[in-house]
Amino acid sequence: MRNGASNTGTAGIEYFFNPRSIAIVGASDDKKKVGGRPLAALIERGYAGKIFPINPRYEEVAGKRCYPSILDVPDDIDMVIVSVPAAAVLEVLEQCATKGVRAAVIFSSGFGEVGAEGEAEQEKIRKLARESGMRVLGPNCFGIMHVSNAVMATFAHELETKSDSPRTLSLVAQSGAFGARMFEDATKAGVGCTSFTSVGNEADTEFSDFVDYLLDDPDTTIIGGYLEGAKDGAKLKRAAEKALRLQKPLLIMKVGRTRAGSRAASSHTGSLAGADEIYDAFFRQMGIVRIEHPDEMTAFAILHRDGRDYSGGRVAIVSGSGGHGVMLADKCETVGLSVPEIRGHTRAKLERSLPAFGSGKNPIDLTAAANGKPEMPSGCLRALAEDEDNIDVILTMPFFQWERSKELAQEFVDIYRSTNKPLVVMAHDRPDSDEAAARFALVQSAGIPILYDQFQATEAIAKLSWYQRKARQGRVVDTGPKAPDPASCAEVREMLRGGEPLSEFGCKQLLKKYGIPVTREALATSADMAVELSRNLGYPVALKAQSGQILHKTEAGVIKLNLASDQEVRRAYKEVLANARSYAPQAHVEGVLVQEMVRDGVEVIVGVTKDPVFGPAIMFGLGGIFVEALRDVSFRIAPLTRADAEEMIDEIRGRRVLEGMRGKPPADRDALIDILLRVSQLVTDHRDQIDELDLNPLVVLPKGAKVVDALITKRAR
């Protein structure tokens, strides 16, 4: 490595944000040209470092000496902006490496995004970066901008939008144009942006490297991202864990929700796990806030700036319009906030401020009577601010022309200062007069968030509330049950070796090594033996022909259930063997499994699928039609923490079935959590050997739980 630096992860990324000198290859006086824009912007913003235009066609560009090539520059160069056609890029980069340049930003398109040839050229860039230690951003990117020190290494005109708001937000985007638009919209809405990075094709540096780096930036308190797909799931995980630890929210707009490109999978879990479900699960697990629209990110950033606690999620709505109040209440409840009825002392206080025909229940309707009577809304807001028991957040939709009342605007401020609760003003329009603008400014300067789009604001409040709960909880790495002893672990490794698939019996032997409880059962190799085993187990029993080559046993007719006598067992023994032979004549049949019948429990499924980005992902759901027809399942990435396991159970729509319904006792939740954690341990320890796993069904009993059937797919070699 010629530049002497380590060149992976965040190493050397600081040179993109704080370069002491910048050269622009393909520099131009023409501000309309891609190579002309950054030069003009650097000068206009007052970049304090040295600027070196590079272009063999000129002696001078923008009043600065222009050099024919990087190698002609007499000084050291920290960062180079490459704005030349793709065919010329590699040679320029080689010169950069020779010169000892630390960081190169490549705007040029025509690489990995255009097919195999471009991909091969991009690979050469990656190799050069790895060998030289020079970090590369792009190719095919909009570049980078660091507002604090006027590093305008970009040609996106949206990034020239200025703001006086305190800087909080850094943006990292896999789409330059989309990301630049996010930047512009956030800036115009009053969110101060610290930096913008368009990662392009990620030949060297990638999305997660920048997120990781920016988390250490004191001017970045919140990070927004646009992501099409993470290159390295483990890296994104590390960055997300760091974000949660530092309590800097990471908001990502992840596109591609459709199930396009579903992967071939033989297990049930595999077929239920679309790439988007896995991303969704990963985000929830890691405390990444998934946003659906850039405006949600802006609203979140505005709310987050007030530093107040939204985590309780109980909202009071104060409106001058009954209809709007109800609509907002509906929206709040839809997104997971609650709008509790207000009772007792606070209700009495509210009613003293309300007209006789108003409503103090929540949403609180002041009616048009509040117009010109600031004491009405202010009395209500005060009562809610003082309510310590039921309300966490106050939303006001002031249809009472607060912007025309200096007194009321001042009251908002005074009330806000008197409480620690968030108070959010939902405005209908931007101020339409100087007078109104002064009221907005007064309220905003006190720190009160003013938002315009009620629906997006409500989503943002719900997400901030969720995020704050998640951040408080942190990621406690409490994976529960201990790993098995090294000898059992080695035995499992041995069982998973080789290509031949495991039968149900084989899978269960393996599960037992990890302390996962399975049905009482034994393998019979004759009808007499089956009868003897059945008597020992106690009737009724189930019989299942065992072969690693017959994975779909019901379809093959090799299962017989509820056998209640010796005679039934003898008959079933013959039948399942005959069916096995006709279904798969070549299959090696190990014998017939004689198994206890498990009753009185709730059937669930626990599965594992291997995600190409994040590795083993664990699925949980209720069995039977819930999983088949409703896809009522939850996912998390292994290894699970206890909190992850709890969340997986609580997330499914049918969770009440586990709590005991219609006179049934509740299922043993702790036993279920224990199994989820043991499965997580198993697939984490043997991630290189297990591709898929299904415990289906796993029956959760009032006390304990048992795996009734299991399938483990060894890693295809």
Which residue is it, tokens 């499924």? Answer: 605
Query: Between residues 58 and 539, which has the closer beta carbon with respect to ligand COA?
Result: 58
- Do 439 and 450 form a contact (C-beta atoms < 8 A)? no
Contact region for ligand COA (CB under 6 A) — 28-36, 373-381, 408-416, 601-609?
A: 28-36
Of positions 84, 563, 652, 679, contacts ligand COA by CB under 6 A: 84
Q: Report the residue number, 84 or 537, with the smaller CB distance to ligand COA.
A: 84
In one-letter notation, the amino acid at residue 292 is E
Is residue 215 a contact point for ligand COA (CB under 6 A)? Answer: no
At 565, give phi and psi (nearest 5°).
-150, 165
83 lines the binding site for ligand COA (CB under 6 A) = yes
Which lies closer to ligand COA via its Cβ, residue 85 or residue 660?
Answer: 85
Kindly state the helix (H) or strand (E) to which residue 316 belongs, with its residue range. Answer: strand 315-319
346 binds ligand COA (CB under 6 A): no
Which residue number, 36 or 591, has a Cβ lying nearer to ligand COA?
36
Considering the rule CB under 6 A, would residue 51 count as an interface residue with ligand COA? no
Q: Is 34 in the site for ligand COA (CB under 6 A)?
A: yes
Closest distance between ligand COA and the C-beta of residue 24, in Å? 9
Candidates 82-90, 276-284, 572-580, 707-715; binding stretch for ligand COA (CB under 6 A)? 82-90
Residue with tokens 């190719």: 139
Binding ligand COA (rule: CB under 6 A), the pick from 109, 163, 266, 549 is: 109
**Residue 132 contacts residue 3 (beta carbons within 8 Å):** yes
Window contacting ligand COA (CB under 6 A); options: 78-86, 386-394, 583-591, 644-652 = 78-86
Q: How many Å apart are CA 85 and CA 596, to the nearest integer?
A: 71
Q: Does position 57 bind ligand COA by CB under 6 A? A: yes
* Residue among 142, 310, 440, 620 that touches ligand COA (CB under 6 A): 142
Interatomic CA distance for residues 481 and 511, integer angstroms: 14
Selected binder of ligand COA within 13, 23, 24, 25 (CB under 6 A)? 25
Three-state SS string over 455-522 comes to HHHHHHHHHHHHHHHHHHHCCCCCCCCCCCCHHHHHHHHHHCCCCCCCCHHHHHHHHHHCCCCECCEE
Q: Which is nearer to ligand COA, 35 or 697 (CB)?
A: 35
Stretch that binds ligand COA, among 80-88, 336-344, 540-548, 611-619 (CB under 6 A): 80-88
**Whether the Cβ atoms of residue 502 and residue 519 lie closer than 8 Å to each other:** no
Q: Closer to ligand COA at the Cβ: 85 or 372?
A: 85
Q: Burial, 150: exposed, middle or buried (Cβ in 10 Å; 0-12, 13-18, 19+)?
A: middle
Q: Whole-number minimum distance, CB 129 to ligand COA, in Å?
A: 18
From CA 47, how far away is CA 39, in angstroms rounded? 10
Q: Which is nearer to ligand COA, 72 or 485 (CB)?
A: 72
- Based on the shown chain and the rule CB under 6 A, indicate whether residue 157 belongs to the binding site for ligand COA: no
The pair phi, psi for residue 480, each rounded to 5°, is 75, -125
HSE value, Cβ hemisphere, 13 Å, CA-based, for 389: 7
CB of 26 to ligand COA, least distance (A): 3
641 close to 606: Cβ distance less than 8 angstroms: no
| Region binding ligand COA by CB under 6 A among candidate stretches 51-59, 120-128, 407-415, 556-564 | 51-59
DSSP annotation string for 235-248:
HHHHHHHHHHHTT-
State how far the alpha carbon of 229 is from the alpha carbons of 171, 175, 208, 224, 613, in Å. Answer: 16, 11, 11, 15, 9
Half-sphere exposure of 375 (CA within 13 A, CB side): 5
By CB under 6 A, tell whether 55 contacts ligand COA: yes
Contacting ligand COA within 587-646 (CB under 6 A): none
Minimum CB separation from ligand COA for residue 28, in Å? 4
Q: For the CB of residue 352, give the shortest distance to ligand COA in the complex, in Å.
A: 59
Binds ligand COA by CB under 6 A, chosen from 1, 6, 65, 85: 85
Q: CB of 78: closest distance to ligand COA in angstroms?
A: 18
DSSP 370: G
What is the Cα–Cα distance from 696 to 637, expressed in whole angstroms? 19
176 contacts ligand COA (rule: CB under 6 A):
yes
**Between 46 and 56, CB nearer to ligand COA:** 56
Cβ closest to ligand COA, residue 90 vs residue 327? 90
DSSP-derived pairing of the beta strands 690-700 and 710-714: antiparallel
- Residue 54 touches ligand COA, criterion: CB under 6 A: yes
* Count of residues in contact with ligand COA, rule CB under 6 A: 24
**Judged by CB under 6 A, which stretch of 27-35, 395-403, 627-635, 699-707 contacts ligand COA?**
27-35
Cβ proximity to ligand COA, 56 vs 115, nearer residue: 56
**85 versus 344: smaller Cβ distance to ligand COA:** 85
Q: Which of 7, 21, 140, 547 binds ligand COA (CB under 6 A)?
A: 140
CA distance 468 to 393: 13
The answer to the question of residue 67 lying near ligand COA (CB under 6 A) is: no
Would the CA dihedral through 519, 638, 289, 112 be positive or negative?
negative
Q: Which stretch binds ligand COA (CB under 6 A): 105-113, 201-209, 327-335, 435-443?
A: 105-113
CA 711 to chain centre: 29
* Binding of residue 28 to ligand COA (CB under 6 A): yes
What's the Cα-to-Cα distance from 198 to each of 33, 99, 255, 290, 351, rounded to whole Å?
Answer: 19, 25, 16, 19, 54
Burial 297-323 (b: 16+ CB within 10 A, else e): bbbbbbbbbbebebbbbbbbbbbbbbe
**CB-based contacts of 3, cutoff 8 Å, min separation 6:** 12, 97, 100, 101, 102, 132, 133, 134
Which residues bind to ligand COA, rule: CB under 6 A?
A: 25-26, 28, 33-35, 54-57, 83-85, 88, 92, 107-110, 140-142, 176, 200
